[in-house]
Structure 1
Amino acid sequence: MAKTAAILRETGETRIKLSIDLEGSGKRKISTGIPFFNHMLDLFSAHGFFDLEIDATGDIEVDFHHTVEDVGIVLGDAVNSALGDKKGIKRYGHAVTPMDETLTSVSMDVSNRPFLVFNVPEKIYVKGPFDVYLAKEFFRAFAGRAGITLHINVHYGENEHHIIESIFKACGRALSEASSKDDRISGVRSTKGVI
């Protein structure tokens, strides 16, 4: 069964149209009105081998928060839908990804128990226009709607761009692993028999 989903979500602040194929090749077409965010979602898609299309408009003249959070909500809904009953998937994924001076590890459990742990360096020496706390809001929304326990740990890093980039790459890689099939798994990977 194909692991695909397409979702349209409209609110008074944003309009998000998104489609994903978790078993794709990394093809992507992303437009959010926020160039840095587009770049991060490109990396998530490319490194996870997801085919991803996002057309998002929002009140970015107010700030980026509504658009970033709502894309996280819709992406989480799409991943949850694409995984369906979660039968046969590995469930767990982990990736360690360097980006110049930065090293990030992402671990996830597609558990239907959403939780986010987000650890970044206390002091960031090179700031950017898209900060790590905005990235945190994206991943909080994504994990919550996807039903994923998500641990993001940036072991060290100085440049905000590098920190965020390593997170998005690692998250794509970890999700690719967690959502992949394993022939040894019949049903769901849980001793309870349900996720």
Structure 2
Amino acid sequence: MKRGFEGSRKTNETEIKMKLQVDGEGEALIDTGIAFFDHMLHQFSKHGLMDLSLQAKGDLEVDFHHTVEDVGILLGEGLKQALGDKSAIKRYATVYTPMDEALGMVAIDISGRSYLHFDVIFRGERTGNFEVQLVEEFFRAFAFNSGITLHVKSLYGNNDHHIIEALFKSLGRAIDEATQLDPRIKGVRSTKGSL
């Protein structure tokens, strides 16, 4: 059974349509109007083996903030809905991903408790025309709307593009690992009996 979501989000600032298949092959069709962000979402999808179709129109003439944050919100909501009651998922994953000189780490707990710890130092303010501070905004919106505990860390790196790419790849890979079904897990993986 494939776990998926199809939905949209519309505000005065953005309009987003998305389809997500958790159990996919890493196929992506993404257009947010922000080329660098599209590239990172492709990395997330490809390395997480999730199929993602996402079209966003936002007030890019203001800046990229609303679009990046709202994509994180919808992607988080979509993952949460796609996983349903979370029966038999492994729940946890910690992934390290290198990207040339950079090494990124993402640890995830699909717990129902939203939290973000973001420990990343960037070298500059932008990579191309993309403000690097928006990376944290995306991860926060994603974590808080998916109901996951998320720890994000750049261990080292000199190139902001490489640092960010390592983190997006790590996030995809961690979600892939944590959402895997294990027949040994009866119900949810919690002594409480619920997540």
Is the TM-score greater than 0.5?
yes
1:127 positional shift: 4.6
Residue identity in the other structure for 1:185:
I
Percent of pairs with identical residues: 54
Residue identity in the other structure for 2:86:
K
Gaps of 5+ in 1: none
1:127 touches 1:159 (CA, 8 Å); kept in 2?
no
2:125 touches 2:133 (CA, 8 Å); kept in 1?
no
1:7 positional shift: 1.1
**Aligned residue pairs, count:** 194
User: Measured at CA, do residues 37 and 125 of structure 1 come closer, stay the same or move farther in structure 2, by a change above 3 Å?
Assistant: closer
2:70 touches 2:141 (CA, 8 Å); kept in 1?
yes
* Structure-to-structure mapping, 1:93-104, within 5 angstroms: 93-104=93-104
Residue identity in the other structure for 2:185:
I
2:125 touches 2:131 (CA, 8 Å); kept in 1?
no
Paired position in structure 2 for 1:34: 34
**C-alpha separation between the residues in 2 aligned to 1:49 and 1:191?**
29
1:131 positional shift: 3.2
Map Cα deviations across residues 119-169 of structure 1 (whole Å, 9 max, x no partner). 113x51695132331010001000000001000010111111011100000
Q: What is the alpha-carbon root mean square deviation over aligned residues?
A: 1.2
Paired position in structure 1 for 2:145: 145
**C-alpha separation between the residues in 2 aligned to 1:53 and 1:16?**
10
**C-alpha separation between the residues in 1 aligned to 2:4 and 2:182?**
18
1:183 positional shift: 1.1
Residue identity in the other structure for 1:20:
L
**C-alpha separation between the residues in 2 aligned to 1:131 and 1:163?**
13
**C-alpha separation between the residues in 2 aligned to 1:79 and 1:93?**
16
Gaps of 5+ in 2: none
1:125 touches 1:158 (CA, 8 Å); kept in 2?
no
**C-alpha separation between the residues in 1 aligned to 2:132 and 2:124?**
12
Paired position in structure 2 for 1:174: 174
Question: For 1:60, what is the secondary structure of its paired residue?
Answer: coil
**C-alpha separation between the residues in 2 aligned to 1:112 and 1:132?**
28
**C-alpha separation between the residues in 2 aligned to 1:99 and 1:146?**
26
Paired position in structure 2 for 1:164: 164
TM-score (norm 2): 0.97
1:115 touches 1:144 (CA, 8 Å); kept in 2?
yes
1:131 touches 1:160 (CA, 8 Å); kept in 2?
no
* Structure-to-structure mapping, 1:1-195, within 5 angstroms: 1-121=1-121, 124=123, 127-128=126-127, 129-195=129-195
1:101 positional shift: 1.0
TM-score (norm 1): 0.97
Map Cα deviations across residues 33-84 of structure 1 (whole Å, 9 max, x no partner). 0000000000000000000000100000100000000000000000000000
